[in-house]
């Protein structure tokens, strides 16, 4: 019986010795933690993550501010372009309106120049009709410049027509009557009317060319 228990005693002793050795090998820090005397250090990971998030948000705000500045600058450029286009539109509209104002006077100029180049008709009635057309066209073309000249032509026209279609016994009488009757006043007034009409047409054509240059 004693011989049978001896191995069991030796086994228990070996186990006890192993446990004792294990206890001796435990670090002092672990023992201190068991006794509750060690201080627990704070984990720095949450602070690092928060700082990174703040940096990301700051970068995002800066990017958004830059994008907003670029949009504002682009909007300013677009507004400037719109203002320039509006000004160009108004300028073209004014040019077109001015061209419309010139159309009727230019048409009168064309017809007036055509009539002024004609020779005086062979009959008094036709001559009077031609002078009436010239008078109306001149007043339609440029009444301020040509109005007084037209009046002078009208005043001298009867004496001129009497002389032009009168009967004379000789060339000398015909020539003397040209001065004595005042027919010569018609010729001088008519020539001045022709000159001023050409000047009026030239001025109006210059205005037209200026408008065309602006439209281009």
State pLDDT tens for residues 75-95: 888 888 888 888 777 776 776
Q: Is the pTM of this model over 0.95?
A: no
- SS3 assignment, position 153: helix
For residue 140, being part of any structural domain is answered with yes
Give pLDDT tens digits along the chain (216 positions): 434 444 445 445 544 444 444 444 444 444 444 444 445 555 666 666 777 788 788 888 888 888 888 888 888 888 888 888 887 777 767 767 777 777 888 888 889 999 999 998 999 999 999 999 999 999 998 999 999 999 999 999 999 999 999 999 999 999 999 999 999 999 999 999 999 999 998 988 888 888 777 766
Could you give phi then psi for residue 167, rounded to 5 degrees? -115, 130
For residue 170, being part of any structural domain is answered with yes
Q: Exposed e or buried b for every residue in 8-28, given b needs 16+ CB within 10 A?
A: eeeeeeeeeeeeeeeeeeeee
Task: Give the total number of structural domains in the chain.
Answer: 1
For residue 185, being part of any structural domain is answered with yes
Listed residue (104, 171, 90) closest to 137, CA to CA: 104
Structure confidence at residue 8 (pLDDT): 46
Centre a 10 Å sphere on the Cβ of residue 168 and count the other Cβ atoms it contains: 13
Rounded Cα gap, residues 24 and 33, in angstroms: 16
For residue 188, being part of any structural domain is answered with yes
Q: How far is CA 16 from CA 6, 7, 9, 23, 125, in A?
A: 16, 14, 11, 11, 159
Structural domain for 211, as ranges: 92-215
State pLDDT tens for residues 198-207: 999 898 888 8
Which letter does DSSP use for residue 10 in this model? H
């Amino acid at each position: 019986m004693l011989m049978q228990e001896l191995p069991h005693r030796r086994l228990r002793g070996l186990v006890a010795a192993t446990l004792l050795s294990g206890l001796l090998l435990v670090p002092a820090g672990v023992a201190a933690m068991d006794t509750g005397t060690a201080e627990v250090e704070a984990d720095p990971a949450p602070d690092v993550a928060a700082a990174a998030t703040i940096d990301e948000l700051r970068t995002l705000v800066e990017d958004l501010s830059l994008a907003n500045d670029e949009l504002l600058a682009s909007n300013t450029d677009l507004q400037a372009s719109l203002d320039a286009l509006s000004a160009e539109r108004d300028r073209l509209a004014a040019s077109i309106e001015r061209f419309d104002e010139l159309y009727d006077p230019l048409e009168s100029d064309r017809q007036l120049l055509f009539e002024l180049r004609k020779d005086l008709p062979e009959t008094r009635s036709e001559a009077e009709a031609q002078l009436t057309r010239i008078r109306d066209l001149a007043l339609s073309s440029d009444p301020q410049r040509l109005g007084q000249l037209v009046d002078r032509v009208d005043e001298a026209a009867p004496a001129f027509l009497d002389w032009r279609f009168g009967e004379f016994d000789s060339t000398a009488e015909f020539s003397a009557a040209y001065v004595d009757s005042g027919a010569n006043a018609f010729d001088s007034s008519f020539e001045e009317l022709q000159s001023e009409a050409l000047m009026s047409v030239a001025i109006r054509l210059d205005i037209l060319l200026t408008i065309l240059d602006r439209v281009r």
